[in-house]
Amino acid sequence: MNNLFSRFTHWYFSKDALSYWLVLLMDCLIVVGTSFFVHAMVTSAASTLANFGPLLLTFCAYLIFYLIGFKLRYTYSGVLRYSSFVDLMRLWTATVIAIVMIFIVRHTTSIDHYLTPLTWNELLATCVMSTLIMCFVRIMTKYFYDVYFVEASVQRVFIYGVKEGGVALAKSIQAQESKYEVTGFVSDVESDAHHLLMGVKIYANDEKLVSRMRQKNATVLMVSPLKSDAIRNNQQMADALAEAGIKILMYNQQEWDGKSDLRYTHLKEVDVEDLLPRNQIDVDLDAISNVLKGKSILITGAAGSIGSEIVRQVSEFGPSQLVLVDQAETPLHDIRLMMARKFPNIPAETVTASIHHKIHMEMLFEKYKPEYVFHAAAYKHVPMMEDNPGEAVANNIDGTRIMADLSVKYGVKKFVMVSTDKAVNPTNVMGCSKRICEMYCQSLDKEIKEGKVEGCTEFVTTRFGNVLGSNGSVIPLFKEQLKAGGPLTVTHPDIIRYFMLIPEACKLVLQAGTMGHGGEIFVFDMGKPVRIADLAKRIILLSGATNVEIKYTGLRDGEKLYEELLNKEENTKPSSHPKIKLASVRELGYAEVCSQINKLVEITKDGYDDMAIVKQMKVLVPEFKSKHSKYEILDKEDESQA
| Average pLDDT, integer, range 506-518 | 88
Domain annotation covers residue 548: no
* Residue pair 238/201 in contact by the 8 Å Cβ criterion: no
Residues 135 and 213 in one domain: no
The partner residues of 349 in beta bridges, in order of sequence, read 323
Domain annotation covers residue 545: no
Closest CA to 389 of 556, 553, 558: 558
Its domain, for residue 386, covers: 285-467+500-526+565-620
The residue among 272 and 377 whose pLDDT is bigger is: 377
What is the per-residue pLDDT for 434?
A: 96
Residues 351 and 380 in one domain: yes
For the segment 64-111, what is each residue's pLDDT rounded down to a tens digit? 888 888 888 777 666 555 556 677 788 888 888 888 888 888 888 877
Residues 136 and 234 in one domain: no
DSSP three-state, residue 39: helix
Domain annotation covers residue 640: no
Residues 221 and 94 in one domain: no
- Give percent of the chain above pLDDT 70: 86
What one-character DSSP code corresponds to residue 51? T
What is the 3-class SS of 97-134, one letter each residue? HHHHHHHHHHHHCCHHHCCCCCCHHHHHHHHHHHHHHH
Residues 263 and 297 in one domain: no
Residues 461 and 574 in one domain: yes
- Give percent of the chain above pLDDT 90: 35
Domain annotation covers residue 492: no
What is the 3-class SS of 551-591, one letter each residue? EECCCCCCCCCCCCCCCCCCEEEECCCCCEEEEECCCCCHH
Residues 78 and 220 in one domain: no
Of the segments 220-229, 522-531, 572-581, which one has the largest average pLDDT value? 220-229
Of the segments 107-121, 332-346, 594-608, which one has the largest average pLDDT value? 332-346
| Average pLDDT, integer, range 551-556 | 87
Measured from the Cβ of residue 264, the count of other Cβ atoms closer than 10 Å reads 23
Domain annotation covers residue 607: yes
| pLDDT tops 60 at residue 255 | no
Residues 442 and 463 in one domain: yes
Last residue of a domain, which of 239, 270, 301? 270
Residues 73 and 197 in one domain: no
| pLDDT tops 90 at residue 113 | no
What is the per-residue pLDDT for 15?
A: 45
What is the per-residue pLDDT for 568?
A: 53
* CATH code of 246's domain: 3.40.50.720
| Average pLDDT, integer, range 264-288 | 71
What is the per-residue pLDDT for 505?
A: 85
| pLDDT tops 60 at residue 316 | yes
The residue among 53 and 374 whose pLDDT is bigger is: 374
| Contacts for 511 with CB less than 8 Å, ≥ 6 apart | 283, 284, 287, 288, 577, 580
Beta strands in 175-320 (DSSP E): 180-187, 196-197, 200-204, 218-223, 247-251, 267-269, 296-300
Residues 108 and 31 in one domain: yes
| Total domain count, the chain | 3
| pLDDT tops 60 at residue 387 | yes
Instruction: Name the band, by pLDDT with cuts 50, 70 and 90, for residue 459.
Output: very high
Segments in 197-257 forming alpha helices (H): 209-215, 228-232, 235-243
Strand 499-501 vs strand 321-326: parallel, antiparallel, or unpaired? unpaired
Residues 423 and 294 in one domain: yes
Domain annotation covers residue 75: yes
Residues 342 and 361 in one domain: yes
- Output phi, psi for 559, to 5 deg: -90, 140
Torsion angle, alpha carbons of 246, 252, 253, 256, to 10 = -60
What is the per-residue pLDDT for 569?
A: 54
Least confident of 24-28, 32-36, 387-391, 468-472: 468-472
Instruction: Name the band, by pLDDT with cuts 50, 70 and 90, for residue 148.
Output: low
What is the per-residue pLDDT for 570?
A: 61
Domain annotation covers residue 631: no
* Residue pair 527/585 in contact by the 8 Å Cβ criterion: no
The residue among 152 and 576 whose pLDDT is bigger is: 576
What is the per-residue pLDDT for 224?
A: 86
What is the per-residue pLDDT for 12?
A: 43
Active site residues: 422
Last residue of a domain, which of 151, 181, 214? 151
| pLDDT tops 80 at residue 158 | yes
Closest CA to 268 of 243, 248, 295: 248
Q: Is the dihedral of CA 155, 158, 159, 162 positive or negative?
A: positive
Domain annotation covers residue 119: yes
What is the per-residue pLDDT for 375?
A: 97
| Contacts for 148 with CB less than 8 Å, ≥ 6 apart | 9, 10, 13
| pLDDT tops 70 at residue 502 | yes
